[in-house]
Amino acid sequence: MGKLIIFGTGEIAELAYYYFTKEGRHEVTAFTVDAQYKTCDTYKGRPVLEFTEIDKVYPPEAHLMFVAVSYSSMNKVRAEKYAEAKARGYQLASYVSPRATVYDNVELGDNCFVFEDNTIQPFVRIGNNVTLWSGNHIGHHSTIGDHCFVASHAVISGGVRIGPYCFVGVNATIRDHVVIAEENVIGAGALILKNTKPREVYLGNPAQLFRLSSDQLRGI
């Protein structure tokens, strides 16, 4: 059983603690947060340490880390902490639910969070630091880039390429062999039938290009 530190004490961290603990392959030994967000000394009965001090108490030679952060700022907050954890020497753990269908030739990066009822077909490549919430279909030969977040019940058809730092909303559908450029927001229920450009936002079915770019949105 590997020893694991979770970055965060919010809802995503609580879920990560639950799933990793229930699966039984990792022992969560501590939580860590940036100093300005440290509001308690313990969480779930484990110590909470400032991120700048964590490696002095729980060295990377003996512990893995999982960065449990949402899609804030187009996943860039999670990406920043992912990079900082690696710079401190930590290997990043991934969680894949035993209730997900993942074929044996799927490539999966580190710090990924794959929830139950995902179907990931053969020849799929998923980058680092990717969250796949429950119930998605990832079609054969598709690629999801680093630092993406796919909400529940999205359909990503075969041969799709999704660039880094993208957000795909609940019930979105992407047609086969479409290329989603980096930093795109695909809204809930959107139907994407053609390639997109960087930092675009699509809403509706069929999807329409929104007037704001993804870096102008509030809340993502």
pLDDT by position in tens, the chain (length 220): 699 999 999 999 999 999 999 988 899 999 999 999 999 999 999 999 999 999 999 999 999 999 999 999 999 999 999 999 999 999 999 999 999 999 999 999 999 999 999 999 999 999 999 999 999 999 999 999 999 999 999 999 999 999 999 999 999 999 999 999 999 999 999 999 999 999 999 998 888 898 888 888 877 7
The H or E element containing residue 31 is: strand 26-33
Task: Report helix, strand and coil shares of the chain as percent, to nearest 5.
Answer: 15, 30, 55
Overall pTM surpassing 0.85 (yes/no): yes
Residue ranges and CATH numbers for the domains of the chain are 2-92 (3.40.50.20), 94-205 (2.160.10.10)
Cα distance between residue 61 and residue 63, in whole Å? 6
What does the alpha-carbon distance between residue 175 and residue 180 come to, in Å, rounded to a whole number? 10
Tokens of residue 128, six digits: 């680092």
Interior angle at CA 103, CA 98 and CA 106, nearest 5 = 110
